[in-house]
Amino acid sequence: MQSQYHKANRTVFLLLVVLVSFNAYSQEIDLKSDLLFVDSVVEQQMPETGHRPYIYQNQPKTFKNSNPVSLIYGGSLYVYQNLFSQHLSASCLYHPSCSDFSKQAVGEYGLIRGTLLSFDRLSRCNRIAATDLDPQTIDLHVHRFHDSIKKYK
C-alpha cells in the first residue's frame, strides 16, 4: 500500500514539474521594450544633470565678480555642481537644489547675504526639517518642495 502511495506522489510530483516547466516557457519576454519603459520612467524622475555654467559667466568684469573671494566661491560652486552634485542631490528635498539656490542668492543679493541665505538653506536640507514642511508646496513636476529665493526679500 505504501509503495502505491509513493508511486502516486512521485507521479504527481513529475506531473507538476512538467506543467511548471511548460508554464515557464509559455510567456514571452520582450526585454527591450521593458528596458525602454524603465528608462523613460527614470528619465522623468531624475533631475537634469547637464553641465552647469559658471556663476559669473557672461557678466562684465567688475569688482563684484573678479575679487579673490568671489572667484574662490564661484569656482568651488562650479566644481561641486559639475562633479559631486549629480551623485549627491538625488535625495535633495528642495527645488531648486541647494547649489542652484546658492547661485541664485549670490546673484540676487550679493556675496555676503547670498552666502548667509545659502547656509540657512543648507541647515534646513535634511530629513528632520521635512517634518515642518507643508505638503501643499510640493512641485508636482520634480516631486520636491518649492523654495525660491524670492520669498527672502
List per-residue pLDDT tens for the chain, 153 residues long.
Answer: 556 666 767 777 776 666 566 655 555 666 677 667 767 766 666 555 567 777 777 777 777 677 888 888 888 888 888 888 777 766 678 888 888 899 899 888 988 999 999 999 988 888 787 778 888 888 888 888 888 888 887
Same domain, 69 and 139: yes
Domains identified in the chain, total number: 2
Same domain, 128 and 54: yes
Same domain, 23 and 78: no
In a domain, 134, yes or no: yes
In a domain, 41, yes or no: no
Same domain, 29 and 53: no
Same domain, 20 and 58: no
Same domain, 50 and 82: yes
pLDDT of residue 150: 87
2 to 10, 26, 39, 97: CA distances (angstroms): 12, 36, 57, 72
pLDDT of residue 73: 87
Same domain, 25 and 54: no
Same domain, 21 and 55: no
Same domain, 65 and 89: yes
Same domain, 74 and 22: no
Same domain, 128 and 95: yes
Same domain, 148 and 112: yes
In a domain, 25, yes or no: yes
User: Domain residues for 16?
Assistant: 2-33
pTM over 0.75: no
CA distance 118 to 124: 10
